[in-house]
Amino acid sequence: AQSVTQLGSHVSVSEGALVLLRCNYSSSVPPYLFWYVQYPNQGLQLLLKYTSAATLVKGINGFEAEFKKSETSFHLTKPSAHMSDAAEYFCAVSNSGGGADGLTFGKGTHLIIQP
């Protein structure tokens, strides 16, 4: 079975500082990996996805993530945090059907931006 571990339920950074949100996954098949963002009382919005092309994936709002097979990691980064980045972030891996049978999500990381 697939699983996702997000280290740190809360991460706090200063505005303008580097954002690093960690994600490790376990998958029995070559994975498809995703990062989503959620604002309060809303659905999830896709930030970026990895689907076996380039290992460094660029997404929206200046975020990017690097797929490292040897470390089974897919960490999310942004060089300079903005106040609008404050939200909940979820890492997800495709289930065994390549995603057709859904995604398995991590428990989320709440990103706090300090002025």
Q: Which residues bind other proteins (CB under 8 A)?
A: 4, 9, 32, 34, 36, 41-46, 49, 51-52, 90, 92, 94, 97-108
How many whole angstroms separate alpha carbon 25 and alpha carbon 16? 29
- Residues 46 and 34: beta-carbon distance below 8 Å: yes
Q: Return the number of the residue (18 or 58) whose C-beta is nearest other proteins.
A: 58
Closest distance of CB 93 from other proteins, Å: 12
Single-letter amino acid, residue 100? A
Q: Return the number of the residue (73 or 104) whose C-beta is nearest other proteins.
A: 104
Q: Return the number of the residue (5 or 72) whose C-beta is nearest other proteins.
A: 5
| β pairing state of 10-14 and 109-114 | parallel
